[in-house]
Amino acid sequence: MGLNLAEKSDTRPVASSLEPVEVEAINLFVQFSRALGQPRSYAEIYGLLFVSHEALPMDTLIERLGLSKGSASQGLKYLEELGAVRTVYVAGERRIHYEAVAELRNLAGRFLSQQILTHFKDSGARLERLGEQAQKLSGERRKHVSARLKLLRSWERNGRRVVPFVLKMLGGGS
């Protein structure tokens, strides 16, 4: 079913077992996840772990956030792979407990390479193929495509230069 963290215009009820401070924190991450195109449920999980004082087992996340087992399991798996969450072994507890990893730089780095760079990965090959096709053209047409290609190459270069820089900047303050 998922949570409902009601915004002004939203009339569904807020999950009763969450405290206001938790609702606020979760909202923050859910908002963020929309900007990044990530599933809401993952953001809910991360948000709750982020404000929680102690590590939580999957059960608790399911119960308090109103998630299905499947979502919780997949979400935790994803977040763990991303490095956004780590497992913690709690004395006298059988279940795996999770806590939020709060390091922006690593998070952003992994997220960028996972979500963005994979999409860019063969842009080099693509540009090359475009270049080949351009050679087959003639006259005005070829001139134009070649100019465009040159532009694309410079865009790609600039784009690549930006990523490490962003990471450095994000690392600075935290």
Partner DNA sequence: AAGTTTTTTCAATTTATATTGAACAAACTG
Partner DNA sequence: CAGTTTGTTCAATATAAATTGAAAAAACTT
- 34-93 binders of a second copy (CB under 8 A): 34-35, 37, 50-51, 53
Residue 90 interacting entry, from a second copy, DNA, none, C-beta within 5 to 8 Å by type: none
96 touches a second copy by CB under 8 A: no
Residue carrying structure tokens 């998070």: 107
67 touches DNA by CB under 7 A: yes
Residue 173: CB minimum distance to DNA, A? 29
37 touches DNA by CB under 7 A: yes
Residue carrying structure tokens 């963005």: 116
1 touches DNA by CB under 7 A: yes
- 140-159 binders of a second copy (CB under 8 A): 140-141, 144-145, 148, 151-152, 154-155, 157-159
CA 107 to chain centre: 8
| Nearest-10 crossing angle of helices 58-65, 69-82 | 120
Could you give the CA distance from residue 41 to residue 65 in angstroms, rounded to a whole number? Answer: 9
User: How would you list the strands of the sheet with 97-100, edge to edge?
Assistant: 56-57, 97-100, 85-88
109 touches DNA by CB under 7 A: no
